[in-house]
Amino acid sequence: MLSFLIRRLSVVVPTFLAIAFLTFVAIRLVPGDPIEVRTGERGIAPERLALLRHELGLDRPVVVQFLDYLRGLAHGDFGVSISTKEPVLREFFTLFPATLELALAAMLFAVILGVPIGVVAALKRGTVLDYALMGTALAGFSMPIFWWGLLLILFFSVDLGWTPVSGRIDLLYYFEPVTGFMLIDSLLSDQDGAFLSALAHLVLPTIVLGTIPLATIARMTRSAMLEVLSEDYVRTARAKGMPPFRVVGIHALRNALIPVVTVIGLQTGMLMGGAVLTEHIFAWPGIGSWLIESIERRDYPVLQGGILLVSGLVILINLMVDLAYGALNPRIRHGR
């Protein structure tokens, strides 16, 4: 197991360094100097520009800047945002819970609906119900989620007035974040209606972000279920008179879920991409909105640190999924 871990790490660490280097170099190529962008059309005196560039270290050779950057990373210093003057790492951890809360809610939504849909479709294989469910799933899988979000806003927020259009909670409520999860914090705050407000704000973004994972999980569960249902042990269980519910729930589903769990693990990266769009539509103050704004402001350190942190997270989750499989399945551990 230790050699497996070392082998995986020998891939992961260079990957991370390569991303650090590439984001660093690439972002230097972005057109537009951050200082010129900030001063806008008023212009700036050349000597003041030189002074500001010197203060930010932008006048040193790129290699020196990169080594400096790496030294900082080793100490947990991901740079300082040019526009807010806050450390990038602190901004990331302030906003990350918002994205995490949304992503977890979306995943929960996708699993709770997706697995039963897949099971029902598999059990009713070839019926109208199967075709209807799988047709809907393929439509969900093909959905431009930014448009889907606008449609949901149009219907539920504008026409019906059921849900708010943007943000995480009504401006009416204010409390200091404790966990960063609005649902938990609103409960802790003891303010009447705060929790319901937070919940109402979460519903539409959850549906939007969860739609594609939901469709993927439903399709995956169906095909895994179909495969398992034709196995000998399922037939044996049926033959010995076990009630259908137990056959499906205990014998079949448990084994069918193995590939499904893999898919759930692989969805992390997709979920981060979807979060960018979802947060943009609903003005959700998370990592996605933060990164998009950093592009508009030419905030190099935020973009660079943000991408690095997000990729680091994806790499870490994939590594954990890998290790979990390695622990469970010796063939993977000793393979290659």
Which residues here bind other proteins, judged by CB under 8 A? 11, 14-16, 18-19, 22-23, 26-27, 29-31, 122, 125, 135, 138-139, 141-144, 146-148, 150-151, 153-154, 158, 219, 222-223, 226, 269-270, 272-274, 276-277, 280, 291-292, 295, 303, 307, 310-311, 314-315, 318
One-letter amino acid at 288 equals G
Q: How far apart are CA 307 and CA 302, in angstroms?
A: 8
* Residues 6 or more apart whose Cβ sits within 8 Å of residue 290: 91, 92, 95, 302, 306
Cα 82 from chain centre: 25
Q: Nearest approach, Cβ of 136 to other proteins (angstroms)?
A: 11
What SS3 class is residue 191?
A: coil
**Closer Cβ to other proteins, 198 or 228, answer by number:** 228
The CB density around residue 322, as the number of other CB atoms within 10 Å, is 18
Q: Nearest approach, Cβ of 46 to other proteins (angstroms)?
A: 26
Cα 315 from chain centre: 13
Which among 23, 72, 8 has a CA at the least distance from the CA of 291?
A: 23
E strands in the chain? none
Q: Nearest approach, Cβ of 186 to other proteins (angstroms)?
A: 28
**What's the sign of the alpha-carbon dihedral 311, 312, 317, 323?**
positive
Q: Nearest approach, Cβ of 174 to other proteins (angstroms)?
A: 29
**Closer Cβ to other proteins, 132 or 327, answer by number:** 132
Q: Nearest approach, Cβ of 167 to other proteins (angstroms)?
A: 17
**Closer Cβ to other proteins, 242 or 292, answer by number:** 292
**Closer Cβ to other proteins, 1 or 30, answer by number:** 30
Q: Nearest approach, Cβ of 318 to other proteins (angstroms)?
A: 7
**Closer Cβ to other proteins, 29 or 74, answer by number:** 29
Q: Nearest approach, Cβ of 187 to other proteins (angstroms)?
A: 31
What SS3 class is residue 80?
A: strand
> Which single residue is written with the structure tokens 């019926």?
127
**Tokens in use for 8?**
């995986």
> Which single residue is written with the structure tokens 């979807």?
274
**Closer Cβ to other proteins, 220 or 247, answer by number:** 220
What SS3 class is residue 87?
A: strand
**Closer Cβ to other proteins, 250 or 295, answer by number:** 295
User: SS3 letters for 227-282?
Assistant: HHHCCHHHHHHHHCCCCHHHHHHHHHHHHHHHHHHHHHHHHHHHHHHHHHHHHHHH
